[in-house]
Amino acid sequence: MGSITTHKATPESARADEIHLDRSPPELRVHEILSSHGSHAPGVADRYLHHQWAVILITRGGYRVGTDPRRTFDALAGDFLIMSPECDHAWTTSDSPLGCREGVSARFALFRPPSTLELLLRYPEVQPHYSLLRIADRAMFRRMSRCLSQMESICNSQLPNRVALQFNLLEQVLLWCQAAQHSRQDATDRRVQKAIEFMASSLADEVTIEQICRAARVSRSQLAVLFERSLGTSPMRYLEKLRIDRAKQLLRLSNQKFAGVATAVGFCDSKYLAHRFKAVVGVTPSEYRSSCRAEHQGR
């Protein structure tokens, strides 16, 4: 297994655009599964390259994630972060709204999952290699934390079947995470659900805000309030997210030309698709497809 080197930094020097620290990140490898926990004070930065899946449940504070300052995001207490393999993982507590005051504490696991378990790790990505899920249900959060704590105890034991026991507990963590996401969706206002159902069935069409309002049976102002309250975004931004997610799926799973992908998800042409795709995902459709193929070939 490789080691993680932690680099102390002042709030001024730990900005996300300087987190690369002028060195190649140390490589972190595990044979099957490693379970542990960690805490870091404000003003800390770290970076490493891991070759396996990783999950992190943040229990206190938070940190800012990413090597590119244009594509960083915050992972805060109550979040569950999933990282796919071959991820150059860089972070700092200094630029995070909670991390700069409290630092960060988290439980985590690094592992090479069986195929059945890998299906439970697939969520929409906030950035390439990263899925970020909010666990709003405190009871479910505590159950996930308890399972990760048990995994660590077993990892440090001499039990002959400790790998299988850890994977059993990890499956529980992922199933509780899935339940938390479904619970959150069930709590979404029924009018918002109606609007989303209409959007999802009309991705290839030109959709107006008036059509969405009619589908949800609310006024334009009501729709805006409902979406902001339930999802933290506007209806049209959410529609764009659905289109981008569908475009990612088509780029991953088909050989369809970019013009065809653009038409299938409701963009006027491939140039506009490329413009909005890069703005949201951080890479062009061509780069995204190439990275997906390279990842698949590397397995």
CATH for 287: 1.10.10.60
Query: What DSSP string describes 168-188?
Result: HHHHHHHHHHHHHHHHHHHTS
pLDDT in tens, the chain (299 residues): 333 333 333 333 333 333 334 456 787 777 799 999 999 999 999 999 989 999 999 999 999 998 887 888 999 999 999 999 999 999 999 888 889 999 999 999 999 998 888 889 988 888 889 999 999 888 899 999 999 999 999 999 999 899 999 999 999 999 999 888 876 666 567 888 889 989 998 999 999 999 999 999 999 998 998 888 788 889 999 999 999 999 998 998 888 999 999 999 999 999 999 999 999 889 999 999 998 888 767 65
- Residues 130 and 218 placed together within one structural domain of the fold: no
Which residues are CB-neighbours of 27 under 8 A, at least 6 positions away? Answer: 2, 48, 49, 50, 51
Evaluate whether residue 1 is within a structural domain: no
Last residue of a domain, one of 186, 218, 247: 186
165 and 212 in a single domain? The answer is no
Q: Which domain holds residue 272?
A: 190-298
The count of domains in the chain is: 2
DSSP, collapsed to helix, strand or coil, labels residue 50 as: strand
Q: What is this structure's pTM?
A: 0.59
> Radius of gyration of the chain from Cα atoms?
20
Q: Which residue has the tokens 């990263």?
A: 130
